[in-house]
Homo-oligomer: A and B are copies of this chain.
Amino acid sequence: MTETVPQGLCRDFDRLPAVTLLRRLAEKPFDLTAPSALTVERLTTYRCHAAGFDLLYATQRIDERVLDALQALADEGRAIGQFLLMQQGAVLNRIEGFAGENRQVLHTACRDLFAEAPLAPETTAQAQAELVKLRAFLAELESGALTNAAGKPFADLVQIGIGGSDLGPRALSLALAAFAKPGRRVHCLSNVDPDDAAAVLKGLDLSRTLVNVVSKSGTTLETLTNEELARRAFAAAGLAPERHFLAVTGQGSPMDNSARYLRSFYMFDSIGGRYSATSMVGAVMLGFALGYEQVIELLRGAHAMDLAAAEPEIRRNPALLSALIGIWNRNFLGCESVAVLPYSQALVRFTAHLQQLDMESNGKSITRAGRDLAWQSGPVVWGEPGTNGQHAFFQFLHQGTAIVPVEFIGFRESQYGAELLLQGTTSQEKLVANLLAQMLALATGQPHANPNQRFAGNRPSSLLIADRLTPYAMGALLAFYEAKVVFQGFLWNINSFDQEGVQLGKKLANGFLAHFAAQRENFLYNGSEADPRGWALLEAAGLRAKRR
């Protein structure tokens, strides 16, 4: 059953009364450098909790009036109403009056397994059916019922995918490597760069390797290219690819072919690539690496955050509050980028996933009615793990001429528990001491007689902190950012679920590919007739000459 979206839900951002109020409040934002700004009361009150995470936001440039206005913004923009409609299957991936994808947005249904009455029962049942297939497959691997031709167990899995079929699963598998089953390793192959494929395949015993090819359409050029490279490597090693290759694809796609794949798992049109980490796109790889139970833990964490995100009171909803603070910093304080800085090396690729999730979703210039935006949409998202960043770009955060709000992520305990007491503290204590110190330093600044040792302060940040980076916490963190991004899109009145902006590059790339192919086939080919601009660019780049 497909809900339609009530017209009143899609209101233009600059028509919301709270926007006028917020503009006025932004003329004099809260001063974090004032001597009594960071009181004990503020630090312990400006905090909310959900699904194992605490969000600390006392070091943002907000006060009660701003929070009240942000609550009004969320209410007027119907943030929660739209979120619930999304979860129930409303067709939110659309631009009113123009051709587009016209799809539901049901990534939350993948983990709505623990509720008595799922919000989108049909999609949740489909997700459940795929999980049953996955559990059976993993059990066969575990019991030895499924082995390679020589009767040996599979030790490695290479995921071939790009974009959402790569970034989320890659970030999650790195984040949870501490929980991997002994003897199991996973790898990712995404870039069409031939050096990437060569480097990934180089060190593997292919006879004990599974390859998981992920493409919803079954036609993604980069993915098919890498799959073909991998299939030839298997064939060259005397191995039958159909005994090693798995497919995660749309039902009925060219890749849905049991003659070519050992197993197929399905993905659905209602789940966009960048929101698909908790579907089979991530679950097959994570299940191989961590086992089925840990996949369920991940889904359980994501579901807990989904539930918390439906809370209308912003002071009790970390994802919604974080979305609103992001809007405050972007649209009212004028900050063009946001740095996400996890104090956890395991989250080394999580920011790369967030870049897609956030920037592909909210890097838009038209409303859901097809009109040009008169306000800013999503920011640049970037970051690296602390403490490394402290020895890299933190100089810029503290003393650069641009203000970049920071979202810190931290954990009270380490994953491995391999602690070393040195100079009276553990490594994990050093990590969190640095994290808290950076929050304070950015906020308060420091006056000094030497101008080079002066810190202006008033640089906003938040902290999201949990006990330990487990599969459950990873699921909650992932869902936190998914919810944050869609809340911002709802309020900016943009479609956070399509990506028409990638099409022009694809089209022009096909033109250059036609050039290269024609050059190879026909020595006399002169593409300058067809597209003088492209031809000149090839010439300028030294790429026009016939390649061997």
Shortest distance in angstroms between A434's beta carbon and chain B's nearest beta carbon? Answer: 5
Binds B, one of A78-86, A452-460, A478-486: A452-460
Question: A431-448: contact bitstring with B at CB < 8 Å (1 yes, 0 no)?
Answer: 111101111110011100
Asked whether A523 is an interface residue with its Cβ less than 8 Å from the other chain, the reply is: no
> Which of B191, B393, B395, B452 touches A370 (beta carbons < 8 Å)?
B452
Chain B hits for A532, CB < 8 A = 40
Q: Are B436 and A534 in contact (CB under 8 A)?
A: yes
- Scoring A370, A386, A432 by chain B CB atoms within 10 A of each residue's CB, the highest score goes to A432
Give A377's nearest chain B residue, CB to CB: B401
Cβ A437 vs Cβ B505 within 8 A: yes
For the complex, give the distance between the alpha carbons of A410 and B538 in Å.
Answer: 13
Asked if B56 and A540 sit within 8 Å, CB to CB, the answer is yes
A499 at the interface (CB under 8 A from B): yes
5 nearest CB pairs, A to B = A363-B396, A163-B391, A424-B517, A363-B400, A433-B512
15 interchain pairs (CB within 8 A)?
A162-B391, A191-B345, A192-B387, A194-B416, A225-B420, A365-B456, A366-B451, A370-B450, A376-B402, A380-B382, A424-B521, A430-B513, A436-B512, A437-B509, A441-B508
Given contacts A402-B379, A437-B509, A540-B44, contact A426 B195 (CB under 8 A): no
Segment touching B, from A130-138, A144-152, A276-284, A336-344? A336-344
Cβ of A538 and Cβ of B504 under 8 Å apart? no
A503 to chain B: closest residue by CB = B453
A274, chain B: closest CB distance, angstroms:
8
Residue-wise, chain A 37-57 has the 8 Å CB interface mask toward B (1 for contact) of 011100110010000001010
A251 on the interface (CB 8 Å rule)?
no
In the assembled complex, the Cα of A166 lies from the Cα of B385 at a distance in Å of 13
Least Cβ–Cβ distance between A255 and chain B, in angstroms: 16
The number of times this chain is found in the oligomer is 2
Given A345-B191, A378-B396, A465-B542, A426 and B500 contact (CB-CB distance below 8 Å):
no
Question: In the complex, which residues of chain B have a beta carbon less than 8 angstroms from the beta carbon of A542?
Answer: 54, 412, 465
Residues of B within 8 A of A365 (CB): 399-401, 456
Interface string of A226-243 (1 = CB under 8 A from B): 001100100000000000
- Asked whether A114 is an interface residue with its Cβ less than 8 Å from the other chain, the reply is no
Cβ–Cβ < 8 Å partners of A15 in chain B: none
What's the minimum C-beta distance from A423 to chain B, rounded to whole angstroms?
A: 7
State whether the Cβ of A252 lies closer than 8 Å to any Cβ in chain B. Answer: no
Closest to A438 in B: B505
Binds B, one of A21-29, A196-204, A292-300, A302-310: A196-204
**What separation, in Å, do the CA atoms of A197 and B427 have in the docked complex?**
10
Indicate if the CB atoms of A437 and B512 lie closer than 8 Å: yes
Interface residues of A in 379-415 (CB under 8 A from B): 379-382, 384-388, 390-402, 404, 410, 412, 414-415
Contact A363 B395, CB 8 Å, known A43-B536, A194-B418, A537-B440: yes
A364:B399 contact, CB within 8 angstroms: yes
Contact A192 B398 (CB under 8 A): no
A541 CA / B445 CA spacing, docked (Å): 21
Distance, CA A221 to CA B384, complexed state (A):
19
Measured in the bound complex, the distance between the Cα atoms of B412 and A391 in whole Å is 34
Within 8 A of B (CB), among A354-375: 355-356, 359-360, 362-366, 370-373, 375
Q: Separation in Å of the A486 CB from the closest CB of chain B?
A: 15
Q: In the complex, what's the smallest C-beta–C-beta distance from A12 to chain B, in angstroms?
A: 14
Checking B99, B437, B440, B541 against A56 with a beta-carbon cut-off of 8 angstroms, the contacting residue is: B541
In the bound complex, do residue B436 and residue A538 qualify as a contact, i.e. CB atoms below 8 Å apart?
yes
Contacting pair B360 A396 (CB below 8 A): yes
